[in-house]
Amino acid sequence: MPTNLPGPSSLARMQACIRSVIPPHADSPSEYAEHGNAKHEYLANVLTHGREKALMLARDEDREWLADIDTDALPASKTGAYAPEVSWALDMRTGKCRVLGQQLSRKEARFRAMENEVVGTADLAGLRPGTIIILDYKSGWLAPAAKLNPQLLAYAVMGARAYSSKQQRITQAEISIVRAPDDAQPWVDTFHVDEMQLDVAFMQMRQTYQLAEKALQLAKEGRWDEIPPAVVGPHCRYCPRFLFCEAQMAIVKAFTKAPEEGRPVLPVEALTDDEFLEFSEKLECAETVLEQLRIRHDGRLRQRPIPLGDGLIFGEKHSKSDHILPKPAREALMQLFGPALGEGVYNAAAETVTKLPKERLRSALRALVLPGLPKAEQKITKLLESTMDELRERQAVSPTPTRKICRYKGELPLPKLEDKTG
């Protein structure tokens, strides 16, 4: 029977708010989640197949930005040094752990586990004598540091218990968060874990999962008053129970209740300092609620766009925009305007070595090129268009697929085929 226990990626949230484990739950499909999944899959394929084949395996719309990632600076370039996407199942009652496989889908890994097992999948795992090595890719900066990261500590516990044997015990771990932004240099945060810390991490895991099982049982019996109340905080961002959370609903009600007679809806100016601080905290929470609703709103329209009549669609519009390639653009600008002026335009327009936005190119042309043209030719739109045409001619521009939630004229897209396998 597949496990129904949340994985280590939910540990920090469970420790902050045990009610987060209680159904109903709802996934929050978003462009950011798709972006992160594409990056994880690509980096795993780089390790397994090499960079060129990994790019070929990526979706057409992802190849360009994936190609900008400096994989040589990442562990993904060290073929054979690590295993990608390793899944384990840890029995929280016996403490025994086993390997489920590599590069399994989340559904397949959970299906292979037993009812009382917790499933965890590390982005990269490796072994040295007596030491398990865990690396986890992160695109943003919201995750706790490696030293304080319950998810990585859980993977270390799983790996150490899965690979220990009579011949060789795994008594230490090296856990790392690998920050892998799209257009900046990677950065690694590493923490070394000793045997005692591994034991403490397992005891904390066991305690958390015991509380989770108790909360689930109390909810099943309808004994809600005995379950600790929901706690609002940064951990709410990706909580699957977000839309059903009592604390989040209370925040929304506080901002939408009818005003008292003779008083404005939100008398902010009349609040005392203490009242204003409370209001400020509620406002931050309300913004989080709205952000999550927007993610789910957009996800719904990506999956099921709505026909509005007269050829108008409310959904995700797919189009292409110009992506200026900095290196060939620099050479093209120097040929077009001369070495000195072309170099000046490039330096003013380039945001990073991998990014040259069109709007920055417009500003650079306005400041450096436009003043030197005859009065009758000083039109920035015409200058930008002619410059872009020259860049296209010199293959310094690449069309990039873009997606935007909006109302647009077009045809209703065909529904996506669901994967019935597994």
pLDDT value for 419: 43
Residue 147 shares a structural domain with residue 199: yes
pLDDT value for 208: 95
Dihedral sign for Cα atoms in the order 89, 92, 97, 98: negative
Residue 262 shares a structural domain with residue 391: no
* Percent of the chain topping pLDDT 90: 32
pLDDT value for 182: 65
- Please provide the average confidence, as pLDDT, over all residues in the chain: 84
Q: Is the pLDDT of residue 232 over 50?
A: yes
Look at residue 315 and tell me if it is in a domain. Answer: no
Q: How many domains does the chain contain in total?
A: 3
Look at residue 411 and tell me if it is in a domain. Answer: no
Look at residue 230 and tell me if it is in a domain. Answer: no
- The pTM assigned to this predicted structure is 0.66
Q: Is the pLDDT of residue 36 over 70?
A: yes
CA distance 63 to 371: 39
Q: Is 131 exposed, middle or buried (0-12, 13-18, 19+ CB in 10 A)?
A: middle
- Residue type at 285 in one-letter notation: C
CA distance 87 to 406: 39
| Mean local confidence (pLDDT), 206-233 | 93
Q: Is the pLDDT of residue 373 over 90?
A: no
Phi-psi region of 120 (alpha: psi -120 to 50; beta: other; left: phi over 0): beta
pLDDT value for 89: 96
Asked whether the beta carbons of 21 and 231 are under 8 A apart, the reply is no
Q: What are phi and psi of 40, to 5 degrees?
A: -60, -45
Residue 197 shares a structural domain with residue 285: no
Dihedral sign for Cα atoms in the order 65, 68, 72, 75: negative
pLDDT tens readout for residues 255-271: 655 555 544 455 677 77
Look at residue 415 and tell me if it is in a domain. Answer: no
The better pLDDT of the pair 271, 29 is held by 271
Omega into 415 within 30° of 0, i.e. cis? Answer: no
Write out the residue range of the structural domain in which residue 270 sits: 256-301
Long-range contacts of 367-371 (CB under 8 A, 24+ apart): 368/341, 368/344, 369/337, 369/341, 369/345
Look at residue 333 and tell me if it is in a domain. Answer: yes
CA distance 191 to 274: 40
Residue 288 shares a structural domain with residue 399: no
Nearest CA-CA partner of 158 in 109, 93, 99, 85: 99
Residue 297 shares a structural domain with residue 325: no
Residue 43 shares a structural domain with residue 133: yes
* Residue ending a domain, choose from 171, 204, 220: 220
Look at residue 276 and tell me if it is in a domain. Answer: yes
Look at residue 231 and tell me if it is in a domain. Answer: no
Look at residue 261 and tell me if it is in a domain. Answer: yes
pLDDT tens readout for residues 293-330: 788 888 888 888 999 988 899 998 888 888 888 888 88
pLDDT value for 40: 82
Residue 75 shares a structural domain with residue 183: yes
Residue 170 shares a structural domain with residue 102: yes
Residue 191 shares a structural domain with residue 120: yes
Long-range contacts of 159-162 (CB under 8 A, 24+ apart): 159/86, 159/88, 159/97, 159/122, 159/125, 159/132, 159/134, 160/132, 160/198, 161/90, 161/95, 161/96, 161/97, 161/202, 162/88, 162/97, 162/98, 162/99
For residue 92, what is the domain's CATH number? Answer: 3.90.320
pLDDT tens readout for residues 343-360: 888 888 887 766 788 888
For 402, the token pair is: 């873009």
pLDDT value for 30: 59
Asked whether the beta carbons of 88 and 97 are under 8 A apart, the reply is yes
